[in-house]
Amino acid sequence: MVGWAILYSNIDVLSARSRYLPPCMPAYLTASATRSARFWAARRHVLQTIASIGGAFVVVLVALMLLLWVPTRALLPLVFIGLPIGWALGILEVVVFPALVQRLPLRGAIFLQGIGHLLLLLVLHGSLRLLAHRLGQRQLWPEPALAATEPVRQWLLVPIIYVLAVVVTSLLRQLLQGMSRERLRELLNGRYQQPEAENRIFLFVDLKDSTHLAETLGNDQYSRLVRDFFRDVSPAIAAAHGEVYQYVGDEVVVTWPSARGLKFANCLHCFFDMQRAIAERHEAYQRAYGVVPSFKAGAHGGLVTTVLVGTQHRELVYHGDVLNTTARIQAQCNALGSRFLISAELRRQLGEQPEFQFTALGGQTLRGKAGATELLDVQLYLPILT
């Protein structure tokens, strides 16, 4: 796992350095380094998920083997057996199955996924038998009390171990998908049981002309378009270290702790990386829907109150004027002819940002706000980096 940590840290460093490359560097080298950094940063969350699934699978596998009283000398080889199978399981669940669902009916995708699980089960079964043979044993676990039950136990035990390991690993993955590991750790430590104030930045991203698209495409096709849009912009959110707060219809709300959102201007890069991701999928959208989705966004930051609410359904929610203001800022995009608006307060917090062009639009009256709010249009200054 140390190797994975080193890989992720190097990706972070490369991504950070690429945003402040020396101006004397040739343009084509600058663009190449930046594209490389963005490529790996956008895929970091996939690698992390696959690595996490592999690690969780190994932990569950070893725990189950300990319950079967396998010899202690077999535990380390079990780790080396479990990791490749766990990583293959991660690739199957994170990469292969979602791709199959996009191209095949659900039943067909599930059938092919089942074949993949069967192959992994056969690999696990063969690996355990080989390990037992290398250790000079007939099988890893002690003989059953009744010899008559031994054949049934022999054939069912490994599938049961595999199924239990997959189920527990999938549950952990679903738990981690809903929030960052840092957020999960905070919740496990009992944080947010009581309202807590914290500084956060919010980015509201909304599809443009959604009503027209829904009428033109119909409900089913429009739902698929929104689904594909959220899927395609997710790597950009992960690359900017953002957290998806919620999906509301055709809108996604991204948030950062202020320090993380301001660092390397993550809250700004997130939007432009989203644009880049959709542009790269231009032909695919044209083929599938006859239209390429466009979107607008607003960003703002400040003090909010965070609390865990609900009993049957638990959810972390944010309360405060910051969210309302951000929503109103995003709503002004059409009126001001902008794709991306931010507040003057957020602009002051960002400091010097040579990669971006900020155009002051003056004080704007936002719905529900007593005074005027200073807004700025944001555009990327360096076209070669797009």
Query: Which tokens hold the place of 339?
Result: 């794709």
Q: Which residue has the tokens 């980015």?
A: 203
How does DSSP classify residue 73? G
How confident is the model over 210-235, as a mean pLDDT? 91
Who wins on pLDDT, 2 or 261? 261
Q: How far is CA 326 from the centre of its chain?
A: 23
Q: Indicate the pTM of the whole model.
A: 0.74
Annotated domain spans of the chain: 2-177, 192-385
What is the pLDDT, as a whole number, of residue 178?
58
The distance between the two most distant Cα atoms of the chain, rounded to a whole number of Å, is 85
d(CA 295, CA 273): 13
What is the pLDDT, as a whole number, of residue 41?
57
CB-based contact 330:296 (threshold 8 Å): yes
How confident is the model over 60-81, as a mean pLDDT? 89
What is the pLDDT, as a whole number, of residue 28?
38
What is the pLDDT, as a whole number, of residue 310?
81
Task: Report the SS3 class of residue 18.
Answer: helix
Q: Looking at mean pLDDT, say which of 47-51, 233-237, 368-372 comes out highest.
A: 233-237
How confident is the model over 179-201, as a mean pLDDT? 79
373: confidence class by pLDDT, cuts 50, 70, 90: confident
CATH of 192-385, picked from 3.40.190.10, 3.30.70.1230, 3.40.50.10090, 3.10.580.10, is 3.30.70.1230
Dump pLDDT digits (tens) for 284-326.
999 999 999 999 999 999 999 999 888 777 788 999 999 999 9
What is the pLDDT, as a whole number, of residue 251?
94
What is the pLDDT, as a whole number, of residue 186?
72
What is the pLDDT, as a whole number, of residue 107?
86
Phi, psi of 338, rounded to the nearest 5 degrees: -120, 155
CB-based contact 327:248 (threshold 8 Å): no
Phi, psi of 165, rounded to the nearest 5 degrees: -65, -40
3 pLDDT higher than 50: no
Q: Looking at mean pLDDT, say which of 2-16, 27-41, 162-176, 296-310 comes out highest.
A: 296-310
What is the pLDDT, as a whole number, of residue 38?
52
Q: What is the number of alpha carbons within 13 Å of residue 68 lying toward its C-beta?
A: 22
Which has the minimum average pLDDT: 31-35, 180-184, 285-289, 351-355? 31-35
329 pLDDT higher than 90: yes
175: confidence class by pLDDT, cuts 50, 70, 90: low
d(CA 123, CA 172): 23
Residue at 304: amino acid letter: V
What is the pLDDT, as a whole number, of residue 21?
42
Strand boundaries in the chain, DSSP class E: 196-207, 243-248, 251-257, 295-309, 315-319, 340-343, 356-365, 372-380
Which has the minimum average pLDDT: 45-59, 89-103, 131-145, 258-272? 131-145
Residue at 5: amino acid letter: A
Q: Which residue has the tokens 């644009």?
A: 275
72: confidence class by pLDDT, cuts 50, 70, 90: confident
10 pLDDT higher than 60: no
Q: Give me the DSSP letters along 142-206.
A: PPPSSGGGHHHHHHHHHHHHHHHHHHHHHHHHHHHHTS-HHHHHHHHTTTTSS-EEEEEEEEEEE
What is the pLDDT, as a whole number, of residue 235?
85
Give the rounded percent of residues in the chain with a pLDDT score beyond 70. 81
What is the pLDDT, as a whole number, of residue 264?
86
d(CA 313, CA 5): 34
What is the pLDDT, as a whole number, of residue 43?
66
Cα–Cα–Cα angle for 354, 339, 20, rounded to 5 degrees: 20
42: confidence class by pLDDT, cuts 50, 70, 90: low
Dump pLDDT digits (tens) for 107-120.
888 899 999 999 99
Q: Which residue has the tokens 């919740």?
A: 187
d(CA 51, CA 56): 9
What is the pLDDT, as a whole number, of residue 384?
42
263 pLDDT higher than 80: yes
Query: Which tokens hold the place of 382?
Result: 């360096």
What is the pLDDT, as a whole number, of residue 354?
85
